[in-house]
Structure 1
Amino acid sequence: MVAAAATMATAAPPLCAPRALARPRRGSVRCAVVSDATEAPAAPGARLSADCVVVGGGISGLCTAQALATRHGVSDVLVTEARARPGGNITTVERPDEGYLWEEGPNSFQPSDPVLTMAVDSGLKDDLVFGDPNAPRFVLWEGKLRPVPSKPADLPFFDLMSIPGKLRAGLGALGIRPPPPGREESVEEFVRRNLGAEVFERLIEPFCSGVYAGDPSKLSMKAAFGKVWRLEEAGGSIIGGTIKTIQERGKNPKPERDPRLPKPKGQTVASFRKGLAMLPNAITSRLGSKVKLSWKLTSITKSDSKGYVLVYETPEGIVSVQAKSVIMTIPSYVASDILRPLSGDAADALSRFYYPPVAAVTVSYPMNAIRKECLIDGELQGFGQLHPRSQGVETLGTIYSSSLFPNRAPAGRVLLLNYIGGATNTGIVSKSESELVEAVDRDLRKMLINPRAVDPLVLGVRVWPQAIPQFLVGHLDLLDAAKSALNLGGYDGLFLGGNYVAGVALGRCVEGAYESASQISEFLTKYAYK
C-alpha cells in the first residue's frame, strides 16, 4: 500500500471538470475538431431516431459511442453535446509560434489497456507519448521537496517517512492494526487505522488533494479507492488481500493481450503528441455526423411505444429524437434537472453529489529560475510535486509539464501546471486571475523557484467552478438510490454514466465507457426480442 500510494502520489492531477469560467487568452489556439460532425443539419421540427442516444460529448460519452461500435457492432448511435466543442473537461491549448502546449483540465492518464485500446482504435497509436517511469515524484514536507518511493526497493531509503512510521505501516499492512469498525470508513480513517499517521499525512492526504481536490476526512475509502479497500475485505489485511489477489490471477489468467497495443515501461503516465484533446477530436472525426454539437437537451419523456423521446434546442431549431436507449454522461447536477420530471427520487439523489471548484494555473519560468538543489544534471526532471495541507502552501500540486512530455515548452524554459482550490479551499472562485497567479508564484518560491527569480510568463488561468465529483462517504449508496429509482419507475434502457459513476481519473472514465457500452448492448439485444 505504501509503495502503491507513493507511486500514484504525483502521477495524476485533478482530472475531471465539467464547466469553466475563464476565457481563452489572446494568442492561444485551442485544439478543435474539423470534421463532418455538424454535417447534414436536422430540419426544424425534425424527428430523428437512434438505437442509443449518448447525452454528453465529453470523454465518457464519446468513448461509450465508440465502444458500442467497435466492441458490440452498435452503430446507430447519436452523441449530443450542449457546447460547441467535444471533449468536456479536456482542454488543450497551444501557442505554436512560441513553442508552448498545455492542458487546462486533465493533464495525463494512466496507460491502462482500455485507454490504449481506445487510442489505437481512434488511430492515435503513433501519437502516444509516455512519461519516463524512472522520473521522480515529490512531496513537500518540512520545507523540502522529498522524493516518493516508486518501487518497494526504495522504501528503506526515502526520507519522507521516519523509521517508526515505516515500521507502523509495514505491521499494519500485515494485519497488526485495529479491526475494521463495521461501517463505511473515510479515507483518513482507513489509512490511519491500517498504515498509521505518517502514511496518511505525508502520502495519502496530498494524493487526495492532488487527484480529487478533496478532503480525505470525508472521502469514502470504498468509493474512492475501492481496489485497496477490497484487499482488506478479501484477505483480512492489505498484504493478505494482495497475496490472495495474486493467487487468484494465477488460477484465472487474463486473456491474451491485444498485440496492437504498445507496452509502457514501468509505472508512468501518458498523453498524445499534441495533447489530450487529440483523443476526443479523433473519436469525433470517426463518428462524423453522429456527433451533434450545440444541441441542448430540454426534456426526456417515456415514449408511448418503446424507448424515449428527447427534445433538443439546436442551431437549426427544435429537434426530437426517438431512442431505444439513453445514457446520460453529463454531470450529475445537470442530469438531476433533466430527469426530475421522470423521477423526483433519482433527481434528488443526483443533486446531492458535490463538485468543489479548482483552478488550473499554467506558468513558465526560465530554467535558471529553478533552485539548484531541485535540478538533476542541470535540468528540472520529474513528474511533479504534491503539497500536504499542513505545509503552509495554498497550491494543491504542480505538474512539471515540460519535463513530463516532449515539445511542451521552448528550449531554456520550464512549463508548470499548478492546481489550486478544492474542497478545503472553495474561496478561489472569488479571486481574480492575478490573485491566483500571485498565490501560485508565492508558493513555488518557497520550494522550487528562486525567491529572486523573474516573474513568470502566465499562459493560462482557468477556473472550474464545479470541478471534480467528490466520492464522499455514502457516495455509492446515493448512486444506487438514483439507479434504483429509475428502475422502480420503469425506466429500462435509461443509463447513468460519466465520472461520478466510473471514477474521476480519465482512465476510469474510459474504462467506465466500455462497461456502459456492454450494459447498453445487452439491453438492446433483449429489446430486439421484446
Structure 2
Amino acid sequence: MEVMCRAASFPNYPLKKVHFPSQRSSGANACRQSRRGTRKGPLRVVAKEATMAPSPPKEGNENAMYDCVVVGGGISGLTTAHALTSKHSSLVKQLLVTEATDRVGGNIITVEKDGYLWEEGPNSFQPSDSMLTLLVDIGLKDELVLGDPNSPRFVLWKGELRPVPSGPTDILFFDLMSFGGKLRAAFGAVGLRPPPPGREESVEEFVRRNLGDEVFERLIEPFCSGVYAGDPAKLSMKAAFGKVCRLEEKGGSIIGGAIKTIQESKNSPRPPRDPRLPKPKGQTVGSFKKGLTTIPNAIANRLGDKIKLGWKLLAIKKNSSGGYALTYEIPDGSISIQTKTVVLTVPSYVASNILRPLSVTAADALSQFYYPPVAAVSISYPKSAIRNKCLINGELKGFGQLHPRSQGIETLGTIYSSSLFPGRAPPDRVLLLNFIGGATNPDIAERSQSAIVSAVDRDLRKMLIREDAAAPMTLGVRVWPQAIPQFLVGHLDLLETAQGDLRDCGLEGLFLGGNYVVGVALGRCVEGAYESAEEISQFLIKSFSK
C-alpha cells in the first residue's frame, strides 16, 4: 500500500496473483546437484564465448531464432521487453514475450463500473525518474495523475487515527509517539544505541536497536504490513529495506550514513535530469486517469505481435552450440522455439519448476520463497457514513490508514481511493480499498467473500465509519492465494545460491527477473527491468556480436 508508506520512504508492493500453474518438465539434470561454493557477483549470468547465426523468426517455425524470449507478461516482463526493443534494438532485433494467461499486466487489474474505478492489485507507484522515463517513452505523460503530497497518512493507535509526520518539521508535534520515544529515536539515529550484532538482522531487530520500541511498534510494524503484508520479526532488513540498512554500515549510524551519502552525491554529480520528465512535488504517488492497467496495455500495444498470450512454458533445454530451446503449450497445440537468451520474470515457484531439470540446487532455492495470501477489498459508503472527526472541511482527505497488529484490527490498512485520485467514485460516495491477510493471517484465503467483507466493515466501524451506517456496497473482492514474495532473513543468500548454481551449470544467457529478485515495489520492478535489459544486451555483445 504505497500511498501510506511513502512517509517512511519505504516502497510499495504489487500484489502477485498466481497466473502459472505448477509446471514440471522431464529430462536429465544438466549439472550436479550441489555447488562448490557461493560465488558473489552481479545478477547477470556470466557468459562463455559462443557463435550462432540468426534467422528471422516465423510464426510456427520451430527453427526460428530469437535474440531474447521474455517469459511472463507482467510489469517486469513487459518493461524488460520495452527496454530491449527501444534502447537495445541494434542487438535485440528478434524478441518474443510469452504469457501463460489470456491477458498482459499480471497482478495489475483495474476495473471500471457504475461510476467507480478501482484497483484489485497494486494501487499506485512512486513517481521515480525511472518510472517517469518509461511513462514518457510510451506516451503516457498526459495520462499521469498524482496524489496531493500534502494529504495526511494515518496510523491507528489507541482507538484514534493519528497523522504520520510528513517531514522533519512535523516530528516534534505529532502525537503518534511520546516525547520519550522521539528522544530515543533521535539518540539512536545519531549512533547512541547498541552495536550491530554481526549477523543478518530482521526488520524488527534493526529498528528496535536503532530507533527504539515506539518507532517499531507505531510506525515500522504497520508499514511492513503495508509494504509486504509481512511479519517484521522474520523480514530481512538487508533484503527488504537495504538502503536504510546500508546507511548504518556506511556511516556508523543512520544519520552518519545519510550525511556521507549526501557528500558522495555532491562529489559525484548525476547527469542532467531528462527535461521531458514531469516534476512531482513532495512525497506523492502516481496512477493514470483510467487506472494502472493503462501502463501494461500501452507497452503491449507498442510490442504488438511480439507478445503471445496463452503460451505456457513447459521446458527449457540448453543447446550444445549455445542458446536454448523452449517448448510451449499453445492454444492450438505445442511449439518449440530457439533463442539466444531467456529471462524468466515469473514467480519464483514457477521458475523453480521450470529450472529443476537444469539445476536442482537453483530450483530448491527458488522454491523456498514464501508468498502469503492477501485479499484486496474495494467497498463504497455514502459520504455521510464517515465519522465527523475523520473529516477535513467536510471531506474525507488523505492517502489512507495503517493498522498495527497490536491494535486488535484484522485489516492491514485502507486506502482512500476516491480522495487520492480524481474520478474514482460518484460525487456523493467514498471508495475505500482495503487489504487483509498476509503472513500473520494466512487463513484469509479460506474465507468466503461475504466473510471477508464483513471483517473489513467491522474494522472500519471502529475508527472511520459510523457504527449506525448502512452496509457498504461491495465492488470487488480479489483474493490472491500467493500474493507478495516475503524477503525473509536469508532471502539474499537463497537468491545468490540460485543464481550462482545457474552460473556453475553453464546456463549462461538465462536470467532471473521479477519482484522476488529486485524488490516488490512497482517502481522497483520497472527499475529492475531496465537493469535486466542492460545485462542481457551486455551478454549479447560479449557472446554473439561478430
Q: TM-score, normalised on structure 1?
A: 0.93
Shift of 1:304: 2.9
- Equivalent of residue 81 in structure 2, options 42, 65, 90: 65
Deviation at 1:47, TM superposition (A): 3.9
For 2:16, the equivalent position in structure 1 comes to: 17
User: Which residue is equivalent to 1:121?
Assistant: 137
1:176 aligns to 2:189 (yes or no): no
Q: Is the 8 A contact 2:58 2:64 kept in 1?
A: no
CA distance in 2, matches of 1:69, 1:256: 24
SS of equivalent to 1:336:
helix
Preserved contact between residue 57 and residue 88 of structure 1 (Cα < 8 Å): yes
Alignment of 1:45-124 (within 5 A): 46-73=62-89, 74-95=92-113, 98-124=114-140
Displacement of 1:19 after TM fit? 2.1
Q: Is the 8 A contact 2:149 2:282 kept in 1?
A: yes
The structural deviation recorded for 1:132 is 0.2
Hey, what does 1:403 align to over in structure 2? 419
Distance in 1 of aligned mates of 2:437 and 2:10: 19
**Is the 8 Å Cα contact of residues 6 and 148 (structure 1) preserved in structure 2?**
no
Q: Give me the whole-angstrom Cα distance separating, in 1, the residues matched to 2:245 and 2:408.
A: 30
How far residue 42 of structure 1 moved from its aligned partner, in angstroms, is 3.3
1:253 pairs, out of 265, 269, 294, with: 269
| Contact 1:18-1:331 within 8 A present in 2 as well | no
Alpha-carbon contact 1:357-1:465 (below 8 Å) kept = yes
Amino acid corresponding to residue 479 of structure 1 in structure 2: L
Q: Give the Cα separation in 2 of the matches to 1:65 and 1:59.
A: 10
| 1:16 partner amino acid | L
Judge conservation of contact 1:56–1:328 (CA < 8 Å) in 2. yes
Report the counterpart of residue 332 of structure 2 in structure 1: 316
1:316-369 alpha-carbon deviations (Å, 9 max, x no partner) = 321111010000000000000000000000000000000000000000000000
Distance in 1 separating the partners of 2:499 and 2:7: 31
Q: What is the DSSP-based 3-state SS (H/G/I as helix, E as strand, rest coil) of the residue aligned with 2:64?
A: strand
Shift of 1:15: 1.7
The yes-or-no answer on 1:42 pairing with 2:41 is no
What residue number does 1:35 align with?
none
**1:75 to 1:451, Cα distance in 2 relative to 1, 3 A:** farther
Q: Do 1:7 and 1:151's aligned partners in 2 also have CA atoms closer than 8 Å?
A: no
- Alignment: residue pair count: 506
* Post-superposition offset of 1:465: 0.4
Write out aligned runs for 1:107-506 (5 A).
107-506=123-522
In terms of mean alpha carbon deviation, does 330-339 or 307-316 score higher? 307-316
| Counterpart contact for 2:68–2:94, Cα < 8 Å | yes
One-letter identity of the residue aligned with 1:77: L
Secondary structure of 1:446's counterpart equals coil
CA distance in 2, matches of 1:6, 1:326: 34
Secondary structure in structure 2 of the residue aligned to 1:396: strand
Q: How far is 1:46 from its partner? A: 3.8
With over 3 angstroms needed to count, the CA separation of the structure-2 counterparts of 1:5 and 1:371, relative to structure 1, is closer
Give the letter for the 1:91 counterpart: I
Query: Mind listing any 5+ residue stretches in structure 1 that lack a counterpart?
Result: 22-39
Instruction: Summarize deviations over 1:13-57 as a string: whole Å, max 9, x none.
Output: 642313279xxxxxxxxxxxxxxxxxx9933x7443210000000
- Corresponding residue SS for 1:487: helix
Aligned partners of 1:326, 1:76: CA distance in 2, in Å? 12
Report the Cα distance in structure 2 between the residues aligned to 1:338 and 1:356, rounded to whole angstroms. Answer: 21
Task: Decide which moves more: 287-296 or 62-71.
Answer: 62-71
Counterpart-to-counterpart distance in 1, 2:400 and 2:93: 41
Letter matched to residue 352 of structure 1: Q
Query: CA distance change for structure 1 residues 521 and 475 in 2, over 3 Å: closer, same or farther?
Result: same
Deviates more, 1:300-309 or 1:445-454: 300-309
Q: Distance in 2 between matches of 1:470 and 1:11?
A: 15
Aligned partners of 2:110 and 2:291 also within 8 Å? yes
Deviation of 1:11 (Å): 8.3
CA apart distance, 1:76: 1.9
Q: CA deviation at 1:280?
A: 0.4
Partner Cα separation in structure 2 for residue 11 and residue 285 of structure 1: 32
The change in CA–CA distance for 1:41 and 1:206 in structure 2 (over 3 A counts) is farther
**TM-superposition CA deviations, 1:224-276 (whole Å, max 9, x none):** 00000000000000000000000000000111111111000110000011000
Closer, same or farther in 2 for the Cα pair 1:12/1:108, shift >3 Å? farther
- AA at the equivalent of 1:67: A
8 Å CA contact 1:326, 1:493 repeated in 2 = yes
Residues in 1 aligned to 2:204 and 2:285: alpha-carbon distance in whole angstroms: 26
Report deviation, 1:12. Answer: 6.3
**CA distance in structure 2 between the aligned counterparts of 1:446 and 1:276, rounded to whole angstroms:** 31
* Distance apart, 1:72 and its partner CA: 2.0
RMSD of equivalent CA atoms:
1.7
The share of aligned pairs that are identical, in percent, is 70
Aligned pair in 2 of structure 1 residues 9, 503: CA closer, same or farther (>3 Å)? same
Q: Is the 8 A contact 1:9 1:137 kept in 2?
A: no
Partner of 1:129, secondary structure, is strand
In the alignment, is the contact (CA less than 8 A) between 1:104 and 1:360 conserved in 2?
A: yes
> TM-score scaled by structure 2?
0.91
What is the SS of the residue equivalent to 2:314? strand
Q: Which amino acid aligns with 2:406?
A: S
**Residue type matched to 2:415 in 1?**
I
Between the aligned partners of 1:204 and 1:47, the Cα distance in structure 2 is 53
Q: Residues of 2 paired with 1:460 and 1:57: CA distance?
A: 23
> Which residue does the alignment assign to 2:7?
8
- Structure 1 stretch displaced more, 484-493 or 7-16: 7-16
CA contact (8 A) 2:73 2:99 kept: yes
Q: Secondary structure at the match of 1:52?
A: strand
Partner AA of 1:339 in structure 2: L
In 2, the alpha carbon distance for the partners of 1:476 and 1:100 equals: 41
The one-letter code of the counterpart of 2:111 is: V
Tell me how far apart the structure 2 counterparts of residues 71 and 221 of structure 1 sit (CA, whole Å).
Answer: 34
